[in-house]
Structure 1
């Protein structure tokens, strides 16, 4: 046991896994004792997340790939810079989600507290183990366990909506696992091994490589929610508790993205050009359709889930650009694109977790998820409103926040793609940049919709009018994540070199020269995030100074009253609604919105969601999770 507390990365990771599992089991056993069980779940989750953060930072500083057997646990781990990056992204958001969950669990029933605490801890343990897996068997088993934990968090409310969402997630997860088993079985047949280190040094035939990649892309794409493999995402994020939805978005789906990076750029050698083009097409489709469907949603968590799909597409634009750069022998393009994708993967976890936790606060204080019934929340929950505004601005890639930094890097990689010597690359570069710009415009509209309809105006129902600030732990977790969005954006010139080193380790190329010197972007179009921040902070002072200097005694102080309504008495019914805000786009893109109806006919959906199938899958999920836990402990 002394090696478990040595402070080495492998020891810290083993300690984190044990703490997650033991605290989950302990809190589950003592669930009837509200304060004790909440303290066990929360303290254990935060201690484990801190251990993973420290281990990830140590691996990033070390730089070398290490194969290690975890102390105490019979688990063969691969500690690489890429793995440490996803560990860092997951554990930072898990730390804040656990802090939020401490307050949430104190206000729910013992049954819900027991299931949510246990499954959240097991989910993070499984995802952490999946991220450091050294073989395909470990990876698939851990991802399957994580998907089953997610299923039980989705169906814990046990209403019709949750059961339908759980069934969609269960079927999608099993299909994804089956595709991964087929992909790695094919590689095992050709190489005789499923160990990642062995697979890296095997030369596969083009047919086996391509078939394995397509299967792996489908399997990991189902976990990541790539459109059209996304059916489980919106309903699941709306049905699960807010902190669980944040973990789905920032951890579970991101492991799927890292799986695509590992297979497409690491295990199978240099990809052919069509791999990169396929990923780019799926990426821009996912980003645009995700943003478009988000604008039509009134359920705030479903809206955020569709925006998660949008950002999954943006991350995949970086991954696809890197694969295309490798295929075209353009190392600067590959490095810039992968750097942008990995940096956005990290940034998205910060602002999306803040948004889900903020939405959870509103739901807890009002009992409402429908934005049509909210309004005026900013005056009643000011700290939550400020944190969500910052996170929304980051989601829309507004400077100087972190979303802007990573998306600007992505634009630079797409501009480099347009200068390629291959015609198809020159054609796709500008088209993809335009698609990314349209996606950004949709995200800006979502800022106006979510913040304007939810936080501004007057309350549209009594529950919204009676809202009070959320518990301190909830509010603090959201504010801290919003501050991290600001810090990682302003400090991006110093953070980006670390991500550039990770991209270089995956591609086996030198670290980008621009990143080494702390320039946030390409040498021809560098942008200083700190200077942008200073200018933006200074701009509001200019009108105030002008008013002070020129006002004199001519302008009286303003008087406040009801909003002007053309002479009529103002009422909440006059405030803009979410439906009215999005109606022009609904008309403009009506054919695209009708695709969902045609792709999922009512007869097929009704047959799929008959009672017997959901009940059968629920029993099957329980048996499968029990078997996997026995296998893991054995």
Structure 2
């Protein structure tokens, strides 16, 4: 049986698990979560093994499998090529991790009946999007993925904020699907052949390809979290259960990136150079604005959601560079940029899953997401704290972890931009590099703040003081993912070489083979330009740390001395006197607040003798929401109020309106013909 057939069998098993979940809940409620999540992990493991074998060439992926489903004249087409294999690995590695984590975390879920039936279906939908080989199957799977994830966002619908998040998510998902439908309609053309193979072989006018790019930025970009289409993401991701948040943030956004890459790099034909201008600009703005919002957040899960916006922007910077180089027939630099973008997408799925799992463990232990109410958790939750710290180091792009490698490769691709012939790109690409470096620096500040306020210092609430460490399933999965982050950061050569078939398929070139280089270094273009060895950096860190410890022990006194910690000149032991999240972000808020957030501070200081308390009120605005979405919502509401009287018409009036609409449509058809 072909590998794609085995993948579809595993997807069918996920659908069966979803269908049997209500029955399992009713009969074996105490064990339902363990059974369902364990079965999901097994199904995802099967797909993961098949995808790895296909990507590494261990098995022949075979051709297209056509099932008698969907459109009668087309059928449902499914196929695994190199690009699909990469994203199957990403989806199902995340699915295995989230399912195993949920075995422990799910025991604390207050509404399992609102999550368990939809969770396997969500995994199935994401897998079907990746293996679909025609537009109809792709769109059905895409909408199914959206609806099942929306159902889990609404799991705790009693919370008004969660209901608002679900509503905004549903509106944006519908808008995105409409954009994808229009894009595929243009690619199918007058012949209406919705198979990807037919679209790939068809010739498209320049205006068609450019319009498809815009529609894909709207459709896939809205699901991925590109600015200004990101507004649903910081609302929906925190509202979902934490293992679902990890899948939505670490995996579903990558499925959206897959859709963009599939259409723009594979189906739309040769790119024009100006495409890269649009993608680079949006990616740069997304990276900077996402991390700026993240730095200001006090809600731990919302902070992580905005960080996802930043990392999606980084991926799109790499994709924009790949489009620029591909348009100018520079296969080597295009392969470097595309490989770096896909590598960063994979890396983000690893460390963002760790961070959301850690946030879920903190929420389970304390019942709080506000980091101002936490603190001191490193003593009470050491396993979660150290795994979360590793995720923070990885997402801050510090060597020798994996986040550094992919961002370093994108910067190496940026350094090749002087060879581009267009003057617009000669100026834009270095600007994008500067914004990428700026976003990386802000990410470091963001996660120093997140980890320090959450896990260090003294507990700021009784719940934080009484927290207990995560269960063995949760902490085991977090430590395993952290180990993968370290291995991939030390030995990125093998990941880069595994991505060769993808870059060869999409840009007609591949990076030089990396796995046979001395010291397991990576050389993106040539050794005379730059190289990096994660293994040597890791050994240097180990040896220098060991030497520093030995020198301190040999030359310092061996006598143990206990003294109060440095207290910044304020020895009051009250936790309220500690450095806070807001005070940590204050310098950045003062610099960027008026421009990026329209920040306002209202201070009330009572006169001497007045016993009323002093108050300091800080307000931050989302300028994207205020500029784009609030006016649209107001216009829709005003039109709805104007048309509200239509529901009170008589039958005769309704029939008259229908007749008038029919006559108008017939006139339009006559004029068009």
TM-score normalised over the length of structure 2: 0.86
Deviations 1:357-411 (A, max 9, x none): 1100000110000001000011101011111111111101100101011111111
Is 2:202 aligned against 1:193?
no
Q: Following superposition of structure 1 onto structure 2, how do residues 427-442 of structure 1 map, counting pairs within 5 Å?
A: 427-442=427-442
CA contact (8 A) 2:354 2:387 kept: yes
CA shift at 1:250, angstroms? Answer: 2.0
Residue equivalent to 1:40: 35
Is 2:5 aligned against 1:11?
yes
Residue equivalent to 2:102: 101
Select the residue among 59, 64, 67 that pairs with 2:63. Answer: 67
Q: Following superposition of structure 1 onto structure 2, how do residues 188-587 of structure 1 map, counting pairs within 5 Å?
A: 188-513=188-513, 517=517, 519-522=521-524, 523=526, 524-551=529-556, 556-561=559-564, 563-564=566-567, 566=569, 568-587=571-590
CA contact (8 A) 2:497 2:513 kept: no
Residue equivalent to 1:624: none
Select the residue among 22, 29, 33 that pairs with 1:28. Answer: 22
RMSD over aligned CA atoms reads 2.2
CA shift at 1:539, angstroms? Answer: 1.8
Deviations 1:74-94 (A, max 9, x none): 842111110010110111111
Deviates more, 1:489-498 or 1:523-532: 489-498
Q: Distance in 1 between matches of 2:516 and 2:462?
A: 55
The 1:597/1:262 distance shift into structure 2, 3 A limit, reads closer
CA contact (8 A) 2:348 2:395 kept: yes
The 1:150/1:607 distance shift into structure 2, 3 A limit, reads farther
CA contact (8 A) 1:418 1:430 kept: no
Residue equivalent to 1:625: none
> Structure 2: where are the runs of 5+ without partners?
70-74, 599-622, 642-673
Larger C-alpha radius of gyration, 1 or 2? 2
TM-score normalised over the length of structure 1: 0.91
CA shift at 1:567, angstroms? Answer: 6.0
Q: How many residues align?
A: 602
Q: Distance in 2 between matches of 1:563 and 1:571?
A: 14
What SS is found at the alignment partner of 1:527?
A: coil
Residue equivalent to 1:133: 132
Q: Distance in 1 between matches of 2:523 and 2:349?
A: 21
CA shift at 1:561, angstroms? Answer: 3.7
The 1:310/1:510 distance shift into structure 2, 3 A limit, reads closer
The 1:70/1:366 distance shift into structure 2, 3 A limit, reads farther
Deviations 1:573-617 (A, max 9, x none): 11111111111111101211122463268686689899x99xxxx
The 1:609/1:439 distance shift into structure 2, 3 A limit, reads farther
What SS is found at the alignment partner of 2:421?
A: coil
Q: Distance in 1 between matches of 2:293 and 2:636?
A: 23
What SS is found at the alignment partner of 2:79?
A: strand
Deviations 1:534-574 (A, max 9, x none): 111122222222223333xx564221445535363321011
Q: Distance in 1 between matches of 2:215 and 2:63?
A: 27
Deviations 1:405-446 (A, max 9, x none): 111111111111133232222212221111111000011001
Q: Distance in 1 between matches of 2:398 and 2:636?
A: 42
The 1:12/1:348 distance shift into structure 2, 3 A limit, reads same
Q: Distance in 1 between matches of 2:281 and 2:425?
A: 12
CA contact (8 A) 1:405 1:520 kept: no
CA shift at 1:107, angstroms? Answer: 2.5
> Structure 1: where are the runs of 5+ without partners?
614-634
Deviations 1:56-87 (A, max 9, x none): 01210238774332789884211111001011
Q: Distance in 2 between matches of 1:608 and 1:402?
A: 45
CA contact (8 A) 1:177 1:219 kept: yes
Is 2:93 aligned against 1:92?
yes
Residue equivalent to 2:606: none
Q: Distance in 1 between matches of 2:494 and 2:625?
A: 47
Q: Distance in 2 between matches of 1:602 and 1:79?
A: 42
Q: Distance in 1 between matches of 2:585 and 2:83?
A: 39
What SS is found at the alignment partner of 2:428?
A: helix
CA contact (8 A) 1:493 1:529 kept: no
Deviates more, 1:49-58 or 1:420-429: 420-429
What SS is found at the alignment partner of 1:76?
A: strand
CA contact (8 A) 2:21 2:32 kept: yes
Residue equivalent to 1:52: 47
Deviations 1:278-325 (A, max 9, x none): 101110011110011100100001000011011001111111111110
CA shift at 1:27, angstroms? Answer: 2.2
Deviations 1:489-545 (A, max 9, x none): 111122211123322222232553557756423222101100001111122222222
CA shift at 1:210, angstroms? Answer: 1.3
Is 2:589 aligned against 1:598?
no
Residue equivalent to 2:122: 123
